[in-house]
Structure 1
Amino acid sequence: MNKKKRRLLIRTTILILLAAAVAYTLYANFTKDERGQIQAGDHAPDFVLTDMDGEKHKLSDYKGQGVFLNFWGTWCKPCEKEMPYMNSQYKEFKDKGVQILAVNVSESEFLVNRFISKHGLEFPVVIDKNGDVLNAYGVDPLPTTFLINPEGKVEKVLTGTMTEEDVKKYMGSIQP
């Protein structure tokens, strides 16, 4: 095979690979809304994750209580800003039938423990090591919070930072 034919073959192959990559990216972006996107009115998918003390938390074990299910990361500044508000309201609502489950998105126990200590968090913090729960709920972006009523249905999906007044209002809305 001469140089010109070989060069043409290589260029054609690269062009086909690039076209395939672009096509896949477009497909993935246009169909991401259909994959595991939980919305208000849906039944909250059950899961079991372990907290920093080794205790297992199964969402269905909280049936009969409201659950403020928050997805977050230590690197996420909006997440960090709302954590003290969540902690403050957790103290107010935990004995009134509303629980907080904070799901960290695949970070190390060291980073998560350091974050918990820095902010004095008292509510259960679990790590979604494989991203299974994140994918099941279709979370994007962080922070995202799901308000789950005592019957296990999603009342509302919230994205972005909340004020302390927001957290109080939303926790009150899922109180049994």
Structure 2
Amino acid sequence: MSVKKKRRLWMRTVILVVLFAAVAFTLYASLTKDKAKIAIGDKAPDFVLTDMEGNKHQLSEYKGKGVFINFWATWCKPCKVEMPHINTQYNEYKDQGVAVLGINMGDSTLLIDNFLDKQDLDFPILEDKSKDVIELYNIYKLPATIIIDSDGVIVDIVEGQLPEGRIKAMMERIKPE
């Protein structure tokens, strides 16, 4: 074998080993990453998202209000069922210090707009295109609801569709005194 071929073989082997090491490290890091779980009683992690009108919403700016966060997607049938109930209760509690934030789980703006054309919602719909907030809050099942008291503390975490009576009770629970 010529010197050039040996050198080429050596370089290819080194590159292959480095590439394999990088892939192995990436897999190890993502599989062993300790994701902090949020829990009732924890301070709600802060985030900033933009609504469908282009307005920015930062969770920490809602301090002093109860916050009802609903994670949803356009393809989620239970989400479609509970949205009108959330809207009804939002309209009842918005003047009593309760805010509602609907956070979409990564759908395109077009899909969200089409969904909202069929719904008559008054609360802000925020886009989480990168799914950073969904990951921050460990949301895996939809719909998911997190309620936060006026001090920014998580009061309840619920996965699954909520009946209107439960939504009302949750808003009553986080309504500032």
TM-score, structure 2 as length reference: 0.80
| Distance in 2 (alpha carbons) for counterparts of 1:160 and 1:90 | 19
| Equivalence for 1:40 | 40
Matching of residue 138 in structure 1 with residue 141 in structure 2: no
User: In structure 2, the residue corresponding to 1:74 is in which secondary structure?
Assistant: coil
User: In structure 2, the residue corresponding to 1:173 is in which secondary structure?
Assistant: helix
| Equivalence for 1:67 | 67
The one-character-per-residue Cα deviations of 1:131-164 (angstroms, maximum 9, x if unpaired) are 1101111111111111100000000101100011
User: In structure 1, the residue corresponding to 2:140 is in which secondary structure?
Assistant: coil
User: In structure 1, the residue corresponding to 2:141 is in which secondary structure?
Assistant: coil
| Cα distance, 1:38 vs structure 2 | 1.1
Q: Which amino acid aligns with 1:101?
A: L
Matching of residue 55 in structure 1 with residue 59 in structure 2: no
**Which of the two has higher C-alpha Rg?**
2
| Distance in 1 (alpha carbons) for counterparts of 2:64 and 2:171 | 14
Q: Which amino acid aligns with 1:95?
A: D
How do 1:115-154 residues align onto structure 2 when only pairs under 5 Å count?
115-154=115-154
The one-character-per-residue Cα deviations of 1:51-103 (angstroms, maximum 9, x if unpaired) are 00000000000000000011110101111110000010010000100010010
> Would you say the 8 A contact 1:105–1:129 is kept in 2?
yes
Q: Which amino acid aligns with 1:145?
A: T
Q: Which amino acid aligns with 1:102?
A: G
How do 1:1-176 residues align onto structure 2 when only pairs under 5 Å count?
28=31, 35-176=35-176
- What's the Cα RMSD here? 2.0
Identity %: 47
Compare 108-117 and 91-100 and name the one that shifted more: 108-117
| Distance in 1 (alpha carbons) for counterparts of 2:74 and 2:37 | 23
- Contiguous gaps of at least 5 residues in structure 2: 1-26
TM-score, structure 1 as length reference: 0.81
| Distance in 1 (alpha carbons) for counterparts of 2:37 and 2:72 | 17
User: In structure 2, the residue corresponding to 1:170 is in which secondary structure?
Assistant: helix
| Distance in 2 (alpha carbons) for counterparts of 1:173 and 1:110 | 35
> Would you say the 8 A contact 1:36–1:135 is kept in 2?
no
- Contiguous gaps of at least 5 residues in structure 1: 1-23
Q: How many residues align?
A: 152
| Distance in 1 (alpha carbons) for counterparts of 2:36 and 2:79 | 22
